[in-house]
Amino acid sequence: MSAAAAAADVNIYTTREPKLIQPILDQFTQDSGIKVNTVFVKDGLLERVKAEGDKSPADILMTVDIGNLVDLVQGGVTQPVSSKALNEVIPANLRGADNQWYALSLRDRVAYVANDVDVSALTYESLADPKWKGKVCIRSGQHPYNTAMISAMIAHNGLQATETWLRGVKANLGRKAAGGDRDVARDILGGICDVGIANAYYVGHMKNSKPGTDARKWGDAIKVIRPTFANDKSRGTHVNISGASVAKYAPNKDGAVKLLEYLVSEKAQGLYANANYEYPVRSDVKLDPVVASFGPLTVDPLPLTEIAKHRKQASELVDKVGFDN
């Protein structure tokens, strides 16, 4: 490949399996004529880009979890972007104040509830209620999805109240905090628990799986309730994100910005919503019917950067209460 041809490409370093967004990237290439190359970096994205320095071929750094995006910015491997299109589509609480990162899709942290349990509304705080003793399932407290949720709880309610809450949730666990989000649905079907916390998009995958498969059985065993924080007058649900930044030494910054703008277009957001079952950042996108059945999503308005500030405290709290033991 010639240097000129390579410069015209957009190179993405991503901690997400590239196949998850490949249909979107293929459509971008078809629409724009710009080829997109993806490099899957499972671990050590920040360290890799730092080591490559100004010789890095990366144009876009893509990851999941607000904490990971903030780490990239604080690690000095991103640059601000000036884009009216991005700023008009993405709310202020879902992008960096200095435009060094942008959310591309939302991942609401919801309750999976057994179909035969008579409950239609929940707060995150209520999961510590003794009435759920032995009935709660969740993955490791140290998983980024949960440390972000615990961080949000600290931001809303303070450190001491969050410790009390986390001890209450631990006391209610029906099994060790482990496994993945889909395992929460599996264990609800198995009668191990009645309620659990997990990401909503997994339910889209499960309920849209072929009839008779394990995944479909797990999905059909649950209903989804979007919890809110008890003191949040907006009644918003905690969300995490998938997102991206333009790399500090991007060889093709213009192409990178064009791709980011495309990823928040109505067409691309529709692919996020109907291929990955993630919640779009745009409000004018038709949802997959399963996701639409969960009802409207009101996002906790607390800025994600505020939540990210408490990650270290959240992680320390998980260890302090022995949540994963």
List binding-site positions for Fe cation: 201-202
51-69 burial code (b ≥16 CB/10 A, e <16): eeeeebbbbbbbbbbbbbb
155-182 burial code (b ≥16 CB/10 A, e <16): bbbeeeebbebbbbbbebbbeebebebb
* Cα–Cα dist 129/118, whole Å: 16
The binding site consists of: 201-202
Tokens coding 35 = 């080829």
233-272 burial code (b ≥16 CB/10 A, e <16): eeebbbbbbbbbbbbbbbbbbebbbbbbbbbbbeebbbbb
